[in-house]
Amino acid sequence: MICTYYGAEKFERFKELLEYADKLDSAQLGEEEILNTTGWVLLGFLCDPRTGLGYSKTYTISNLAYCRYLVDMIGDMSINEILAHPDTKERTDFYFECTEKAKKFYNTCT
């Protein structure tokens, strides 16, 4: 909607981010993207309040502070730089720890 109003050319450097935002918002993810989460999909999962990851009190900075800082990071950094950032890294470590526990749980229940 914003791209339509202002013109997509103004957002060219955010093209990949916007494509993944649309995919995440509409849940149009493939099995591989879900099972082997990387890049913008991983960042989307980290930020999605439905995952519950933001409720952890073990992070160096609060989830609210992280999301505010993430706005600046997205404007200044590549996705790989964002994922390598210490505040993102501790969240991805926690995400993958939870993912492994979930896989074990689902394997024993199915």
Mean pLDDT value across residues 66-90: 95
pLDDT of residue 5: 74
CA dist 94 and 54 (Å) reads: 10
For residue 5, tell me if it sits in a domain: no
Domain with 95, as residue range(s), is 14-109
For residue 37, tell me if it sits in a domain: yes
User: Is the predicted pLDDT of residue 72 greater than 90, yes or no?
Assistant: yes
Q: Which is nearest to 41 in space by CA: 26, 56, 52?
A: 26
Task: Indicate the number of domains in the chain.
Answer: 1
For residue 105, tell me if it sits in a domain: yes
pLDDT tens, 35-49? 889 999 999 999 988
pLDDT of residue 1: 62
Residue 15 burial (CB < 10 Å; 0-12/13-18/19+)? Answer: exposed
Between 21 and 82, residue with greater pLDDT: 82
User: Is the predicted pLDDT of residue 91 greater than 90, yes or no?
Assistant: yes
